[in-house]
Structure 1
């Protein structure tokens, strides 16, 4: 079933001005804004309760209670563990596990490509490719390996790339470097890390940096502080969510950013390789002298 956030965005053009106010408030703090009572949401939006009822009807809910039940259901989905997912998995066909898994991943990548708009992808690449900006990257327990890969490639394309370490005690050093024009790329998938949401909040409120969040369809709470949210599919019918679509998105960003100013990229790579080879040669020379 399509999640309510996508449905709200889908029916946006059909909403009245009052209903658009409700939609804006719900999307600004999704899904938590929708978990208020209808009276509380009416007070926040300045819209009558009947208008809110018409809004939830337009997005496919039979009343405000069903609207809230679906939001709660999405919250539960966003915290399901592999143990829980195992109960509802779609087992691979006997004797062709690898081929079946590859087909699922292929389908996931195609879904990602159709779900992330070219306009949004280009806007994020333009931000990250701007050499005047510092770029900071961090991921969650499992997704930080993608942040590390992306940061390593970006370092070879341009300078001022910072991969934030996992230890929160070191974060203030990076936060204090952030300026208004800088960018934080944050990856966080279901069973989200509260510390990453806190980092996004501090970065947004105190440093006013732009945040790019790469997440799943249930959206990490950190998304509420993001200028850009890239939601990618993760479900593949097994006990383990797949991150290949997020990895593919990161690799596509690397290629696109590198080609924005290929002359500068080529020069940077040549300098990078030259420095690396010189360092290796110096190290070998020291070893030779010691023997």
Structure 2
């Protein structure tokens, strides 16, 4: 994960990169915030509804995971959080918990706002009614940043579309083709309208090749950089260790203040 984030452009001099499990303040704040959260509030969150339905019986860890996410955010008094559209409700939980805590114990946490990219949600290549997810059981449904060019080409060639050959953007009526347009626009850093304009005169089969080329061109340098970084694990471990120290310096005084306000010390 560290190699992937660095390869995607995260600058460790500007952002603190660390393993959450190495900063115990996250877990302790999560427990405290969990005491301010109701079970009905968590039951309505999308991750629990989706994954517990698939597994028939979800774990307590899955149920309370959004509270841990809220702790991850509030522990650093974050004001803005980059999220996908599917995480908006989880961020709203963090906002609610900030309000609840502040209301009971005095102002401490800002209410974090969402930072949404223009590409809000990429859909599954096999089922464009659902989001693309690394946990999807269908290997052909998801493109990974470490996929080879051949794997990317195969997955996009088999992507679900429809029987209309023209390329248009209509997520409701043509979710599969619209998903390809979304991916193309994201990879080329252009608008959906520009992507559709570039596809004018192409059928969906030919357009899949255009999208494939755009994805390969964007992901190949990232994949190669990941491989380079992974070849030097000592560098990654050192970077994470330094990040852990910096994160603790920020997290410890915030948790100390939380403990004092709730009466733990």
Please give the range of the TM-score, normalised by the shorter of the 2 chains: under 0.3
Q: TM-score, normalised by structure 2?
A: 0.23
Bigger Rg, structure 1 or 2: 1
**Which gives a bigger RCO, structure 1 or 2 (Cα 8 Å, sep 6+)?**
2
Structure with the larger strand share:
1
TM-score (ref. length: structure 1) = 0.21
